[in-house]
Amino acid sequence: TFAQNQVIINGDLGKTTINKHIYGHFAEHLGRCVYGGFYVGENNTKIPNKNGVRTDVIEALKKMKIPNLRWPGGCFADTYHWKDGIGPKKQRPSMVNAWWGGVTEDNSFGTHDFLDMCEQLGTEPYLAGNVGSGTVKELSDWVQYVNHEGVSPMANLRKENGRDKPWNVHFWGVGNEAWGCGGNMKAEYYANIYRQYATFMSDWSNTSKLFRIASGANSADFNWTEILMRDIPHNMLDGLALHHYSVIDWNKKGPAVNYDEDLYFKTMKQALLMDELIHKHATIMDKYDPKKKVALVVDEWGGWYEVEPGTNPGFLYQQNTMRDAMIAGTTLNIFHKYSDRVRMANLAQTINVLQAVILTNEEKMLLTPTYHVLEMYNVHQDATMLPVDVQTADYTFGNEKLPALSVSASRDKNGVTHISLVNIDPSKSQEISLNLRGMKASGVTGRILTSAKVQDHNTFESPDKVKPAAFKGASIKGDNLKVTLPPISVVVLELK
């Protein structure tokens, strides 16, 4: 009986590419993301590192495939003065991280450290400029410093600091959350400020045009998107951001591990809201930009819970359970669906902060369930999205219901089709009948991420409790693919 879950995969209707940049990440100077996460210092003899950056972290992120990395914030970006983070480390001034725990930072991780790290990672940097407390000159100087090849005051300074060739940074954020920590601006005011800053962010490199991203709306603030799309000329706007966290209640976020089904359901409701939010923001964008020149950049997303008991509330350190795997799998499937407009996104945040893919404790490191989802899904990067039609069973809790199933499909450059499926129901398995139309397939293999309880997670004592395994629950007959998904599972199939 495959009555409820019916899926059609349209093998012949692929039009848009799933931009690999929707698989981007975010590293803010926040808690132990940069200091103590990525960067442990050049003189660290206990933790293997290259130029102070952990080698185990680099290897894990490369394996996961990380297309871009946003830095240095977040809210921190609008307090950051990049010139304090260049030159001999001993001479760099310190600063107070006002947003995140009020800790004093020594600026030992700065522009060179970050951009060299991106080269090690094979990832594209995404620099977030300071608009809230900086100046137009400061930001235009930063562009010149990192991108100008010829003779110029900032290129010369870069060379004095040991870097001859420019890094050619393509992605630039023009401020962050301008409606909040980035300056508490009104949309009309920020639109004007954006125009001013963007004017002086010249493209100093001959190879890559700057991709300028405006600070975007908070979740359902559709007016913000409307005003920015209306007031900023599109020839100076490449991306418009959107931030949406899966948070139940900003005043009572609930624990990261010991949550009940009520909290689980509410979190998933917030996560799945992403579909409606993108649809509505994209509809506004279509009104002003029907050719979809401007990308919607979801440069902050993920689950946000209470910090782990006993940790600094300003450091946003939270564990990561199968609930986070459910958020990751469903959200990425949503991004695929809107791949014509959503062409970049950043999960918050890479290490030790919010929905992290990696947690560290001194020399120990673990990969979270979220890491495994991103690693399994990386087959979709730069593949052609195949539209799907999904009829799903409900996941019901109390009087409410959510779609139990989330499905996405793509065809890669070698013609191989991949299908990612998520069953968010914590107690019911799903039997699914998929009609493979417009394509030929005779065999199927797959991988699954699942665990007995939705609260299951990896710890430093037991780092492999949750990890992908071979999936045996799929079979093909003609153009029909049958799949049985256990409760709380993420599966990625490969068709032969």
Q: Where on the chain is the footprint of ligand AHR (CB under 6 A)?
A: 28, 73-75, 176-177, 300, 348-349, 354
Q: What is the residue type of 216?
A: G
The answer to whether the Cα torsion of 237, 246, 331, 100 is positive or negative is positive
Structure tokens at 114: 């970050």
> Residue 108 or 219: which CB sits closer to ligand AHR?
219
* Cβ pair 409, 386 in contact under 8 A: yes
Q: How many residues does the chain have?
A: 496
Minimum CB separation of residue 99 from ligand AHR in Å reads 7
- Give the β-pairing of 5-10 and 430-437: parallel
Cβ-based neighbours of 266, under 8 Å, separated by 6 or more: 248, 254
**Secondary structure element (H or E) that encloses residue 62, with its range:** helix 55-64
Helix (H) and strand (E) counts for the chain? 9, 27
Q: Which of 119, 300, 375, 431 is catalytic?
A: 300
Based on its alpha-carbon atoms, the radius of gyration of the chain, rounded to whole angstroms, reads: 22
> Residue 60 or 347: which CB sits closer to ligand AHR?
347
In 89-196, DSSP assigns E strands to: 95-97, 103-105, 124-129, 171-174
Cβ-based neighbours of 471, under 8 Å, separated by 6 or more: 445, 446, 447, 448, 491, 493
Minimum CB separation of residue 232 from ligand AHR in Å reads 20
Minimum CB separation of residue 349 from ligand AHR in Å reads 6
What is the DSSP secondary structure assignment for residue 458, as one 8-state letter? -
Q: Which backbone phi and psi does 201 adopt, to 5 degrees?
A: -90, 80
Q: What is the residue type of 474?
A: A
Beta bridge partners of 321: 457
> Residue 28 or 375: which CB sits closer to ligand AHR?
28
Beta bridge partners of 342: 296
> Residue 303 or 468: which CB sits closer to ligand AHR?
303
Active site residue 494: no
**Whose CA is closest to 127, among 228, 277, 27, 230?**
27
* Cβ pair 314, 31 in contact under 8 A: yes
- Other Cβ atoms within 10 Å of 299 Cβ, number: 27
The CA distances from residue 15 to 7, 22, 337, 438, in Å, are 19, 17, 11, 14
Nearest residue to the partner ligand AHR, using Cβ: 74
* Cβ pair 492, 398 in contact under 8 A: no
Q: Which of 28, 105, 124, 177 is catalytic?
A: 177
Minimum CB separation of residue 318 from ligand AHR in Å reads 12
> Residue 177 or 275: which CB sits closer to ligand AHR?
177
Q: Which backbone phi and psi does 391 adopt, to 5 degrees?
A: -110, 115
- Other Cβ atoms within 10 Å of 206 Cβ, number: 12
> Residue 74 or 129: which CB sits closer to ligand AHR?
74
Beta bridge partners of 494: 418, 445
Minimum CB separation of residue 41 from ligand AHR in Å reads 24
Active site residue 177: yes
Minimum CB separation of residue 75 from ligand AHR in Å reads 4
> Residue 28 or 141: which CB sits closer to ligand AHR?
28
Minimum CB separation of residue 348 from ligand AHR in Å reads 4
The CA distances from residue 267 to 33, 111, 242, 292, 471, in Å, are 24, 36, 19, 31, 27
State the DSSP string of 43-96.
Answer: T-SSS-EETTEEHHHHHHHHHH---EEEES-SGGGGG--GGGGSS-GGGPPPEE
> Residue 34 or 354: which CB sits closer to ligand AHR?
354
Minimum CB separation of residue 172 from ligand AHR in Å reads 16
Minimum CB separation of residue 73 from ligand AHR in Å reads 5
Residue holding tokens 């929707």?
22
> Residue 31 or 473: which CB sits closer to ligand AHR?
31
What is the DSSP secondary structure assignment for residue 39, as one 8-state letter? B
Catalytic residues: 177, 300
